[in-house]
Amino acid sequence: MTFYDPSKIEVLIDEATLQARIKELGAEITKDFQGKGDLVLVCVLKGSYLFLADLSRAIDIDLTVDFMSVSSYGDGYESSGVVRLISDLSDSVEGKHILIVEDIIDSGLTMSYLIENLKTRRPASVNVVSLLHKPEKTKATFTIDYLGFAIPDRFVIGYGLDFHNKFRNLPFIGVNLAEGLPLAEQNQ
């Protein structure tokens, strides 16, 4: 028995497909940053932690990891458009190559904020890797240097992405088939 009702969650991207794409992203990043200097993976918490763990192991160069926590969702299904910095980096990134590791880019407002914020810290470069992107929702203009998957505009859970801090531990990206209803209530 599993902790969720499989009849209520559609698998959008299965675990094997996720892991294969992450290995490909790791190889691309390794090639692009090989011999260029210090690389810092900046994980955007909380949703990106699983992606960061797997991606960092797929990158075959020396690197460091740091974390930022921002919020633009609150408890809703969509970004509020207001970005709050909850927790900042612990180390200086001056002169280093920053690769922002994001789970999903929706409106793009959070990512735009992060890029501009990090550029003020005088890094060698700022690049973006996102596991997921909803292109039809994106309002901000910036480059996603490395992208896992473009997905439709649906609320997704699993592999770090949550609904009220639950379902992060699903090994796949899923869609709630009864969107609008809390999954916890559906599972009872």
Q: 3-class SS at 176?
A: strand
The answer to whether 80 touches 74, Cβ cutoff 8 Å, is yes
Residues 6+ apart with CB under 8 A from 80: 72, 73, 74
106 an active-site residue?
yes
| Candidate list 106, 145, 153, 162, residue with the active-site label | 106
- Residue that the structure tokens 């299904």 belong to: 77
Q: 3-class SS at 135?
A: helix
The whole-angstrom separation of Cα 65 and Cα 158 is 22
Catalytic positions, please?
106
